[in-house]
Amino acid sequence: MKFICLTLLLVSGITDSRSERNEVVGPADPVFAVSGEDVILPCSVKPSISVVDMRVEWFRLDLKDSLVHLYEYHEDRNTDQIQSYRGRTKLIHQELQRGNASLKLSTVRVSDEGGYKCFIQSKSWYDEAIIDVRVEVAVGRPPVITVDGFNRSGGLHLECESEGWNPDPDLEWLDSDGVRLTDNRFISWRTSIILISVFVVIAGILIAAFAHKNRAYNQLQNERDQLLQSQKIIITQVKYENREDGEEDKYFGVLGKDGFSSGCFYFEVQVKDQTKWYLGVARKSRNRKDVNTLRPDEGYWTVGLRDEKYWASDSTSVPLSLKVKPQRIGVFVNYEEGLVSFYDVKSMSHIYTYTDQSFNEKLYLCVCLGFQRNYNSTPLIICDDY
């Protein structure tokens, strides 16, 4: 009887000595993760033994109800898992045979930063390791602002785009003086479109490290002055007069003296009391002979009035439904964006926009009094009082 007891004690001692040699280990240094990316939290048993039949638990040390991941009875059991970790944790099951219980954490968040415990338990022993996780914030690319149109009340829609931020940054809209803008503080569309055309509607937006407002504002002011100088119009009135030789021209139109081949441009034309007109911009190599319509493929981007109806001469003639007769037309051109927009100045309403155009030469202001004849002596006036 004594011999049997001694044998059992010896076997038990051998088992305990073996289990004492196994330990759960993690990294000595913090694990650094980038917000928005995936990370592996290392944890394994040394010397290597299979943990397939064991219980593997991952906890957060600093959170209540802190279960991050649970493996037991050969499967994941995450019913009581923290809500914020749902669908983002994974053990590599084929690695469990090698004693590797590392946890893959997907789409890292700033809130994932903190201490984690890797706990492994068999029928005869258990051990744990602590892993410190540090999360680094991803800084995105500089923001880009584009004009996205106008609403019925004349408000200007701006779109700000920037990618790669994690977590989402705080964003503020500022005016040229650095004052925060609210929805009811955006200025009228007419003023806004002029400012946008010279890149001074907004001096910048405050996002994280982008705070160099003063230098940017001074640069934009210089651009504004240069653009306004380039917008001086030599022709101020266009009026039809009968030709003395009795012949009839096709289109009675003129172009501005100075063209432009970059940036933005804005002008206004008074059309009050004139019954036949076209206006917009034309390229230098426009078709001057056998012109059927003032269309983009002929080198013209215009809207006009004929037969008491308003039209845009796109690839096909587009009828325009205007609630009131425009007295003054505003034309805004963004050369690089391939955009030509027309607006009723008085009612502050959008008329028509040519988009996705390809400009590769100079554009000129274009004003026309119709086709073949016009007996209305009222001139079209290029305005300089806006």
Claim to verify: residue 114 and residue 48 sit in the same structural domain = yes
Q: How far is CA 168 from CA 10, 33, 109, 146, 171, in A?
A: 62, 17, 11, 20, 9
User: Which pLDDT band, with edges at 50, 70 and 90, does 210 fall under?
Assistant: very low
The predicted structure's pLDDT at residue 155: 61
Q: What is the pLDDT of residues 104-135, one digit of tens each?
A: 999 999 899 999 999 999 999 999 999 999 99
For residues 142 and 144, what is the distance between their CA atoms, to the nearest angstrom? 7
The predicted structure's pLDDT at residue 238: 56
Q: What is the pLDDT of residues 307-318, one digit of tens each?
A: 899 999 898 889
Claim to verify: residue 212 and residue 251 sit in the same structural domain = no
The predicted structure's pLDDT at residue 144: 77
What's the average model confidence in pLDDT over 135-158? 70
According to DSSP, residue 245 is labeled T
Q: How far is CA 327 from CA 127, 269, 271, 273, 379, in A?
A: 84, 9, 5, 8, 13
How many domains, the chain?
3
Residue 89 lies in a domain: yes
User: Which pLDDT band, with edges at 50, 70 and 90, does 154 fall under?
Assistant: low
In sequence order, the 6+-apart residues with CB closer than 8 A to the CB of 122 are 51, 53, 54, 55
What's the average model confidence in pLDDT over 6-19? 45
The predicted structure's pLDDT at residue 148: 66
Residue 110 lies in a domain: yes
Tokens 């274009």 correspond to 366
96 pLDDT above the threshold of 70: yes
Domain membership of residue 217 as a residue range: 144-229
Decide which of 136, 154, 181 is a domain's last residue: 136
According to DSSP, residue 130 is labeled E
CATH of the domain at 355: 2.60.120.920
User: Which pLDDT band, with edges at 50, 70 and 90, does 142 fall under?
Assistant: confident
| Spatial CA neighbour of 34 closest among 161, 207, 170, 164 | 164
235 pLDDT above the threshold of 50: no
- CA of residue 109 relative to chain centroid, distance: 22
For residues 245 and 353, what is the distance between their CA atoms, to the nearest angstrom? 39
What's the average model confidence in pLDDT over 142-157? 67
Q: Which H/E stretch holds residue 91?
A: strand 89-91
Collapsed DSSP state (helix, strand, coil) of residue 170: coil
Decide which of 136, 153, 178 is a domain's last residue: 136
What's the average model confidence in pLDDT over 37-43? 95
User: Which pLDDT band, with edges at 50, 70 and 90, does 258 fall under?
Assistant: confident
Residue 12 lies in a domain: no
Average per-residue pLDDT in the chain? 78
According to DSSP, residue 297 is labeled G
Claim to verify: residue 286 and residue 258 sit in the same structural domain = yes
Which residue type does 116 have? Y
Decide which of 102, 136, 170 is a domain's last residue: 136
Tokens 């000129």 correspond to 364
289 pLDDT above the threshold of 80: no
- CA of residue 50 relative to chain centroid, distance: 50
